[in-house]
Amino acid sequence: MKRCVLQPGIMDLAKYPFLAEAGEYLRDKGFNLEQLGHPDWAPLVEKAYGRIVVASSGQVYHPEGGRLENPDMEILSFIVAVILLKAAGINTLTRRFSLAEARRAERFLQQDLWANKDKKNLDLPLKIISELFGIRVHVEDDEFVIKVADYLQRAVHFHEKEWKLVNRRVGAGLVHLTSHETVRLIRTELGQYISARIQSISLPPIPDTFKSRVGDLVTLAGRFADAPVVSSDYPPCVKHAIEVLEKGENLPHSGRFLLATYLLARGQTADQIAPLFKNAPDYNERITRYQLEHISGSSGRGTKYQCPSCDKLRSESLCFKVPECDGIINPIQFGRKRGTANA
Amino acid sequence: MLERDSALVENAIKEYYFNHFDLVRIPPKPAQREFGYQKINGGMTRHISIKDVKELHLLLMRETPSDVYCSNAYYSFPSMPMSEKDWQGADLIFDIDAKDLALPCRKDHAVSRCGSCGTVFPGSRPLCTSCGSPKHETVSVTCRDCIGESKKEVKKLVGLLVEDLGIREEEVEVYFSGNEGFHVRVTNRDYEQLESQERADLVDYIMFNGAIPETFGMKRQSSSRSELPEMGEAGWRGRVATTLFGSKSRAPKASRQVLAEGYSAFQEKLEGMRQTLGARVDPKVTMDIHRIFRLEGTINSKSGLAKTRCADLDGFDPFSEACLLGDEKVEVVASSPAVIRLKNKKYGPYENERISVPKYAAVYMICKGLASTV
Ligand code: SF4
Ligand SMILES: [Zn+2]
Ligand SMILES: [Zn+2]
């Protein structure tokens, strides 16, 4: 692991507990694992476990009240969570945890960029980005700028038209971004960085007080077995909608409608589909289920909604046509033999 | 190609490499590049590594290849099979081909050549005029207008590279391709690591493909004047503003009009600008990070002209500056409905005529399939 020269303060470590400095800080303060095994620390283990549970459901952990009132607890609960995950040894959990922690850090990173953009303390967020991901971000007239090549290497993974280079402000080899966009661009790498950090840590012998929660994690992971089947033969528009949700971004109503009607038409049930929406920032299980049932015609007046046409989706900028889409007018037809179109 | 024709062409090429080897230039880091070549009527030989100019000279003298290529990529092991080469990076390359510009003059200098009997006839007809075969290939003779228009595309491209992408002018090299277009090579550390998909998006930027009205402040609902681009802005927003408004004084009025016309009208305007402002390069070439690309100073067997560096693009005249084969007289029988211009001299039209012309002209016509030695 690369050594950082960030010199973060304790509040910074509470926001970014995956930085190598977090471990040093705890060591300096004299914490060790043996101590944390003392029953007095049970609330910490619970907090750490909670952090994983929240992440596994696709949501982002926030301390109660949304404030970092007890930075030591924030840092410690992250470290203990990592130890629990290492002990459980289940990759899907680690992946979900890394992604959720990346999104948590992303919010802070964005706030730090935004709040400090005319001040000196911009150093830390910019340093994190450059030390960890090798991207130099500069501030220019209230905007953030990065090199075109750095931009392209990340933005090609996004399908939305607005991320195409042609739809960005480009000049003198630099792309102009908002703080939100800057951070968005490195989300995947942040997740990968965190998961690499977790991989790199060697598991110490764990205190007995941790063991029951490790067992609970194994049980928890078992529940992912009934996740919806995401098939590679879905049309690009549907794949895109799923990706947006998986990244925890907001998918407009029309996109959710497409996803629901498409998957229902392909024979999936509302129960199977609902978990897909879990990562949405405004997820509410009851409402989602109600809407899905409404769309499927199994509740209310019983009208069954059809999957929208390619034309409609195109006008809503939800179409990401590929050559295999030629000749079809509805995503349902994707990958199937073309039917006779005339009545 | 007939044996006696290929003998003539090969000799002319050999003589060229003997006398003008100084014109052949290898790009930086030659030992990390993959080289390849073709011989007349032969297949492609690839995955060759060459450590320096001397070794290349030997190869040219020994093999007399009709075409010589060198990768834009650098590898750890350039002569290994593709999967084991260990890609390290690649120059950014662009290809501008007059054929893709589909200019109206094209019909005047493109002829058809029957695949069965070799008869050459003007334009394109479904069946051969002499044997009735439906098989034919289109042969195009290099044309001044096509070259002129291609130069304009090159300038658009270079402008975008320098102004928008921050590439320094010294890092951009422009070449006449040796046939009907231009090649551009960019050597810049920032861009050499880009992979294929990333280059594809870069090409879309250069061609102005996929621009959406929202980028220019135009929304489906309630757009406001303050979000429209202003003249003098960097990148495409600035170019679009200049095209929409023409001048600063016209901007207020013109922008009101743009807003009044609405979203889809704006979309159409963008499409129009794509065709006029975007640089028309071949996206496949730029996206290909394993391509072997014609080597500077070597002969292009589609014409017998050389791929030539253009230090001064405006003044560059491919018909003389890239026409470098010998000039002693050779007798050939030529049939060409199109006129050929080389070194300020016109050749043709010919109808199955026995003529005596300089070797470079004979080779040009033979390479195009419009003549044969006697
Ligand atoms: S063409 Fe139809 S199926 Fe293909 S991406 Fe667009 S909307 Fe989806
Ligand atoms: Zn014929
Ligand atoms: Zn022409």
C-beta of residue A140 within 8 angstroms of C-beta of residue A167: no
Residue A88 phi, psi dihedral angles, 5° rounding: -75, -35
Choose the weakest-confidence range: A53-57, A82-86, A242-246, B334-338: A242-246
The C-alpha atoms of residue A211 and residue B367 are separated, in whole angstroms, by: 80
Mean pLDDT, range A277-306, rounded to an integer: 72
pLDDT tens sequence across B246-279: 888 888 889 899 999 999 999 999 999 999 999 9
C-beta of residue A110 within 8 angstroms of C-beta of residue A203: no
Does residue B272 share a domain with residue B190? no
Does residue B214 share a domain with residue B95? no
Does residue B164 share a domain with residue B92? yes
Beta strands B110-114 and B136-140 are antiparallel
Residue nearest to atom 7 of ligand 1 (CA): A310
**pLDDT for position B360:** 97
Choose the weakest-confidence range: A29-38, A145-154, B63-72, B298-307: A29-38
Q: How much is the pTM? A: 0.79
**Rounded distance from Cα A327 to ligand 2 centre (Å):** 38
Choose the weakest-confidence range: A51-60, B213-222, B280-289: A51-60
Mean pLDDT, range B212-240, rounded to an integer: 91
Does residue B244 share a domain with residue B159? no
SS3 A228: coil
Mean pLDDT, range B304-328, rounded to an integer: 96
| Residues whose CB is less than 8 angstroms from the CB of residue A186 and which lie 6 or more positions away in sequence, other chains included | A129, A133, A135, A154
**pLDDT for position A338:** 41
Whether B282 sits among the annotated catalytic residues: the reply is yes
Residue A230 phi, psi dihedral angles, 5° rounding: -105, 115
Whether B327 sits among the annotated catalytic residues: the reply is no
The C-alpha atoms of residue A261 and residue A246 are separated, in whole angstroms, by: 18
**pLDDT for position A116:** 65
Whether B95 sits among the annotated catalytic residues: the reply is yes
Does residue B220 share a domain with residue B78? no
In terms of pLDDT, which residue wins out, A143 or B188? B188
Residue B296 phi, psi dihedral angles, 5° rounding: -60, 130
**Most confident region among A65-74, A88-97, A201-210, B91-100 by mean pLDDT:** B91-100
Give B72's pLDDT tier (boundaries 50, 70, 90): very high
Asked if residue B18 belongs to a domain, the reply is yes
**Closest by alpha carbon to B343, among B332, B359, B331?**
B359
Does residue B311 share a domain with residue B200? yes
Asked if residue B372 belongs to a domain, the reply is no
- Of B191, B197, B209, Cβ closest to residue A149: B191
**pLDDT for position B105:** 92
Asked if residue B71 belongs to a domain, the reply is yes
**pLDDT for position A1:** 41
Altogether, the residues listed in chain B come to a count of 374
**pLDDT for position A279:** 66
Q: Is A50 exposed, middle or buried (0-12, 13-18, 19+ CB in 10 A)?
A: middle
pLDDT tens sequence across A234-279: 888 998 888 887 766 778 888 988 998 998 888 888 877 887 787 6
**Mutation test residue for ligand 1: of A319, A330, A336, the one with most atoms within 8 Å of CB:** A319
Task: Kindly state if the Cβ of A334 falls inside 6 Å of ligand 1.
Answer: yes
| Alpha helices, H only, A4-90 | 10-15, 20-28, 33-36, 42-56, 71-88
pLDDT > 70 in chain A, percent? 85
**Rounded distance from Cα B183 to ligand 3 centre (Å):** 18
**Closest by alpha carbon to B173, among B290, B54, B293?**
B293
Asked if residue B295 belongs to a domain, the reply is yes
Q: Say which DSSP state B280 is in.
A: -
**pLDDT for position A300:** 53
Does residue B229 share a domain with residue B96? no
**pLDDT for position A303:** 67
The C-alpha atoms of residue A284 and residue A293 are separated, in whole angstroms, by: 14
The C-alpha atoms of residue B132 and residue A222 are separated, in whole angstroms, by: 72
Distances (CA, A) of B353 to A76, B333, B337, B374: 92, 5, 12, 11
Q: Say which DSSP state A4 is in.
A: P
The tokens for B355 are 């003529």
Choose the weakest-confidence range: A62-66, A190-194, B204-208, B302-306: A62-66
**Mutation test residue for ligand 1: of A233, A261, A325, the one with most atoms within 8 Å of CB:** A325
Beta strands B308-309 and B44-48 are unpaired
**pLDDT for position B87:** 94
Asked if residue B128 belongs to a domain, the reply is no
**pLDDT for position B201:** 96
**pLDDT for position A148:** 97
Asked if residue B116 belongs to a domain, the reply is no
**pLDDT for position B333:** 96
Whichever domain contains B286, its CATH number is 3.90.920.10
Does residue B222 share a domain with residue B91? no
Asked if residue B344 belongs to a domain, the reply is no
- Rounded to 10 degrees, the C-alpha dihedral B143/B149/B151/B157 comes to -140
**Closest by alpha carbon to A243, among A288, A280, A192?**
A280
pLDDT tens sequence across A64-102: 555 677 888 889 999 999 999 988 888 778 888 988 898
**pLDDT for position A230:** 59
Does residue B179 share a domain with residue B292? yes
The C-alpha atoms of residue B318 and residue B147 are separated, in whole angstroms, by: 8
In terms of pLDDT, which residue wins out, A39 or A155? A155
| Residues whose CB is less than 8 angstroms from the CB of residue B208 and which lie 6 or more positions away in sequence, other chains included | A166, B236, B270, B273, B274, B277, B278
The C-alpha atoms of residue B30 and residue A209 are separated, in whole angstroms, by: 63
**Rounded distance from Cα B150 to ligand 3 centre (Å):** 10
The C-alpha atoms of residue A126 and residue A123 are separated, in whole angstroms, by: 5
Evaluate whether ipTM surpasses 0.85: yes
A143-163 burial, b at 16+ Cβ within 10 Å, e below that, comes to bbbbbbbbbbbbbbebeeeeb
**pLDDT for position A343:** 28
Distances (CA, A) of A225 to A92, A220, A222, A229, B253: 11, 10, 6, 10, 62
pLDDT tens sequence across A138-160: 888 778 899 999 999 999 888 78
pLDDT tens sequence across A311-325: 999 888 889 888 788
The tokens for B82 are 């593709």
Domains identified in chain B, total number: 2
The C-alpha atoms of residue B150 and residue B100 are separated, in whole angstroms, by: 10
B349 preceded by a cis bond (ω within 30 of 0): yes
Q: What is the mean pLDDT of chain A?
A: 81
The C-alpha atoms of residue B179 and residue B302 are separated, in whole angstroms, by: 7
A296: pLDDT strictly greater than 50: yes
Mean pLDDT, range B275-288, rounded to an integer: 95
Task: Kindly state if the Cβ of A122 falls inside 6 Å of ligand 1.
Answer: no
Does residue B78 share a domain with residue B215? no
**Rounded distance from Cα B303 to ligand 2 centre (Å):** 23
For chain A, what are the domain ranges?
10-110+201-218, 236-338
**pLDDT for position A4:** 46
Closest Cα of chain A to B213: distance in Å?
A: 9
pLDDT tens sequence across B203-220: 999 999 999 999 999 998
In terms of pLDDT, which residue wins out, B206 or A196? B206
Residue with structure tokens 């764990």? A206
**pLDDT for position A120:** 58
Q: Residue B234 and residue A173: Cβ atoms within 8 Å?
A: no
**pLDDT for position A339:** 36
Task: Kindly state if the Cβ of A19 falls inside 6 Å of ligand 1.
Answer: no
Q: Residue B190 and residue A173: Cβ atoms within 8 Å?
A: yes
Q: Residue B194 and residue A149: Cβ atoms within 8 Å?
A: yes
B45: pLDDT strictly greater than 90: yes
pLDDT tens sequence across B356-367: 999 999 999 999
SS3 B19: helix
Residue nearest to atom 8 of ligand 1 (CA): A237
B63: pLDDT strictly greater than 60: yes
Domain that holds residue B245: 209-277
Give A27's pLDDT tier (boundaries 50, 70, 90): confident
The gap from C-alpha A216 to its chain's centroid, in whole angstroms, comes to 23
Distances (CA, A) of B57 to B21, B24, B53, B181, B304: 7, 9, 6, 26, 19
Task: Kindly state if the Cβ of A313 falls inside 6 Å of ligand 1.
Answer: yes
Residue A321 phi, psi dihedral angles, 5° rounding: -45, 135
Does residue B61 share a domain with residue B157? yes
Asked if residue B112 belongs to a domain, the reply is no
**Closest by alpha carbon to A82, among A216, A194, A192?**
A194
B324: pLDDT strictly greater than 70: yes
Q: Which of B5, B67, B91, B97 is catalytic?
A: B97
B26: pLDDT strictly greater than 80: yes
SS3 A327: coil
Q: What angle do CA A298, A299, A302 make, to 5 degrees?
A: 70
In terms of pLDDT, which residue wins out, B211 or A334? B211
Give A117's pLDDT tier (boundaries 50, 70, 90): low
End-to-end CA distance of chain A: 64
Domain boundary residue among B277, B298, B314?
B277
Give A341's pLDDT tier (boundaries 50, 70, 90): very low
Does residue B184 share a domain with residue B309? yes
C-beta of residue B243 within 8 angstroms of C-beta of residue B233: no
**Closest by alpha carbon to A309, among A325, A331, A334, A336?**
A331
Q: What is the mean pLDDT of chain B?
A: 93
Residue with structure tokens 């897909």? A276
Residue A229 phi, psi dihedral angles, 5° rounding: -80, 120
